[in-house]
A and B are shown apart, each in its own frame.
Chain A
Amino acid sequence: MGLNDEAPPPVIGKSPGLLGEGTPAFLTSKVDFLVNWARRNSLWPMPLGTACCGIEMMASYASDFDLARFGMERMSFSPRQADVLICAGRVTYKFAPVLRRIWDQMPQPKWCVSMGACASTGGVFDVYSMVQGIDTIVPVDVYVPGCPPRPESLIYALMMVQEKIKQESLDQHSALRAEDPAAVAKPRADSDEIASLSGPFGNSTKQNRVSGLVQTDAISRPDDRIP
């Protein structure tokens, strides 16, 4: 009923159209929509599993959760052919230049997902060897909370990346997608931002990020020392 009852569309030319005989053989759309549609439905991830989050990431690719449904069937183990960097697990300072080099090697357009508490904030590892959130090293689009996050969380994060891509427009391209050769292999944030991002927090240090952003010095707990 419905559609068939309406007046037939005007005949344009003789060729069979997209929607049947006599319909137009072309579509109109917006370039932004088409480009974003193509980009968001074939996001090739660069998996960077450094810890237990990597196991959940592998589970997300496997048959139960099957990220291929989102156009991500190909794990791109070369950063040169990757679109999304999924940093799953803790990142040490020793590993930080590797992470930054992988990010620098990925071509635009590229996005970054910080998966799990350790990648996002350093997690429980508020120690001398651990990067306190990879957003001090590379720009992050979506943070996934959890320790480790379940595959549903990662899928939701990737859908959020897709939503973010939907909002992009080609006239922002030079602003969003510009590459700065001077920024290669440099921290993403300046010193003050790194200090505020990686300030100590949590019960163990009697210090809370919400409670004033005052960074304490090294913990001094004389009681812990055997005299």
Chain B
Amino acid sequence: MRQDDIGQTDHADRRDEADLIARCQGGDLSAFNELTVRYRNQVFAITYNAVRNEQDAWDLAQETFLKAWRNIGKFRGQASFFTWIYRIAVNITIDSLRRKRIESGVEFDETAASGAIEPGAVTVPRSEPQPHRQLESREIQARIDAALEKLSPEHRLAVILREVDGLSYEEIAETMESSVGTVMSRLFYARKKLQTLLKDIYDTI
């Protein structure tokens, strides 16, 4: 869901959602079930984009909703429910990635992933451009998926939160529990890497 989509949620929907949340806070599980139906796809997308594994993403999405249920009493409505659960999903996913990294003994190195790219560096396509060929949307999707796969989970999340979900630097920093500078750094390197991998596509379509 994009930020402007969230903004387009009409007043009745918000009131309905506020009512559902109030019922959840009173222990009504059927109301929570309804909220889950509304947001399960977005939450799953967040977790899947980070871990790129359906089973792990499913488990993390489950953990996200479980944590939301346990903490629904603390939800005060300052942010929208979606933003709130979004943050929970990102936190749970990042925690899980950190745990896995510690278990495997591999630490992610921001600079190692960067390859010392200069701001004005020319982005070279990995494959030759094919201007005469109209790429099928499925093929484009697969190419983008493959390119995203090559990023670290943190870089991938940052670029998706910014480019696809339209979050501001501050919102990304808050959801990812990092500084705005770190978010900008991740965006910079993620974009450079993706430009290298996808130039032939966005130059063609």
Decide whether A and B assemble into one complex.
Answer: no
Using a CB–CB cutoff of 8 Å, the interface residues on chain B facing chain A are none
